[in-house]
Amino acid sequence: MIRRPSAHGSHTLELFDSVRRRNFCAHVLALPVTTEIARVRGVYGYQLPKWLAEIDVSIESDVTASISALGGKPDLSVNAPLPALRTVAPQSHLGTTTMINRIDGEWHQTLVQTNTLTYAERFLPRNVSLLRHGGPLSQLLDGLGATTILRLDIVKDAQIVLNMPTPLEASRS
């Protein structure tokens, strides 16, 4: 997550306000995908750092997920107890993430809208096992010095709209 363009004030207050509003800004550092069409669309349409990877997710009594590195070697794996899932009425838990990235050297924003239907969330979750196996995502987390999981979000059912990028207004001045 990054600060909204033109945001002022405390970084911590900005974070809490974004959580309360369910409206975040983010810059994509890495994005593994499972299909060639998703990789091509992301790389050429959005100029995102995408690559093909095996991604396995299981939401049962526990949540397990694993992402492979290039060549099929393990990269990241996570295991956590499943928090109680909530199922909500459609359009009652809407969220927006504004993805900010450079396309052809210019800053753009892309709205990602979500209609979450079945989910669980935990702040400062316990008993979460995150194993880094040395792939690109593991290296990214190591390079960022990421050591603590602040929030665990499990989404079992949702609708997502990825809009086309538009020039970021703040970059035009």
pLDDT of amino acid 173: 41
Specify the higher pLDDT residue, 64 or 9: 64
Query: Could you report the per-residue pLDDT of 126-161, keeping only the tens digit for each?
Result: 999 999 999 999 999 999 999 999 889 999 999 999
d(CA 108, CA 118): 31
The strand pairing partners of 101, in sequence order, are 108
Judge contact between 53 and 75, C-beta under 8 A.
Answer: yes
Q: Where are the domains of the chain?
A: 11-167
pLDDT of amino acid 8: 77
Looking at residues 34-55, what average pLDDT do you find? Answer: 93
**pTM for the structure as a whole:** 0.80
The 10 Å CB-count burial string (b at 16+, else e) for 32-60 is bbeeeeebeebeeebbbebeebeeeeebe
Query: Could you report the per-residue pLDDT of 72-96, keeping only the tens digit for each?
Result: 899 999 999 999 999 999 999 998 9
